[in-house]
Amino acid sequence: MSLALWRRKRVLVTGCTGLLGSWLADWLVARQADVVGLIRDAVPQSNFFRLRLDQRMVAVQGDVEDFDTVERALNEYEIEVVFHLAAQAIVGVSNESPRSTFSTNIIGTTNVLEACRRIRRVRAVVVASSDKAYGAQSELPYRETAPLIGRHPYDASKSCADLLAQAYWHTYRLPVGITRCGNFYGGGDLNFNRIVPGTIRSLIDGQRPVIRSDGSPRRDYIYIQDAVEAYALLAEHLLEERGFGEAYNFSNETPVTVLDIVRLISGLMATGLEPLILNTATNEIPQQFLSAQKARRELGWAPQYTLEQAMQETIQWYRDFFHVPQAKTRGAGKSAGRAARRTPAAAPL
């Protein structure tokens, strides 16, 4: 990736206080981009503030559901590249509150796309879709040619947002690209109802981690640092006027069950605590994982972390966050993770 390409590039990141948004904004600022973030809520404990991004980039207070705010930010800061990450991203919340999920994920995406269409200087728009946009498929792993058939509120909202992005390319030639990723994990995720941060927090507190499903659903998990590079690489591809209207899967291509993820974390933290399996989750897709062959072939992308190495770094982030003294974990620890960033990912389970 080119440092010169990003220097002084004017970039808007929606959802920049979230897990991906904060790390992506940090990556862009480090490469001397002029970064503007659209922020709905100021969360003092969030990674955005821990990285001091409030002092290193411009923050526009507002919501993607407010079209005028989105258009003003694009105009006033002469934005060239947009990363649209803002979304209601919690499946359980979507089930409880579908209307607000549709408003954020569908109307919000429409607003961003329409504002970009009206402003000619925008050269690249990366829209965050999801593996959930595919819904349940009979053929696995999911490939980009599979239909988008989300059947539950969150899944349907991502199917719609994905199709809207494609429509803006085919109808208006908006220079948009779409990412479809597995489940993000990494330091900075404060949504503790997600399996990785929730399990780590429970084990730090000396409690049994809780699995809401029966533990058998198989998923892709992608480390947040690998995801940042994927998003940046796709944006660079668009800036080179390639890949407009295309969707790309990003995945380690090593799907694991929820129970295996919990046991991996427990083993790395050397706790010996077995999970409490509730088996109460609803609207779960049993098997959901991706092929990343297209991204490897067309973008030259590949994950740089193994699951175990990335999980070691993630555990250490939460130990620091909760002010837990350094403890021994299985493997070489944080330094091994850093050293292995340029090695192919492999399944540890």
Catalytic site positions: 154
CA separation for the pair 21, 25 (Å, rounded): 6
Q: Which pair of structure tokens corresponds to residue 185?
A: 């994990």
CA separation for the pair 226, 20 (Å, rounded): 10
DSSP codes of every residue in 48-60? HHHTTGGGTSEEE
Which has the closest alpha carbon to 295: 182, 147, 170, 164?
Answer: 182
Q: Which pair of structure tokens corresponds to residue 84?
A: 């649209």
Q: In Å, how far are 89, 98, 219 from 263, measured between CA atoms?
A: 25, 32, 15
Query: Rounded to the nearest 10 degrees, how much is the dihedral formed by the CA atoms of 288, 293, 296, 297?
Result: -160
116: enclosing H helix or E strand: helix 108-118
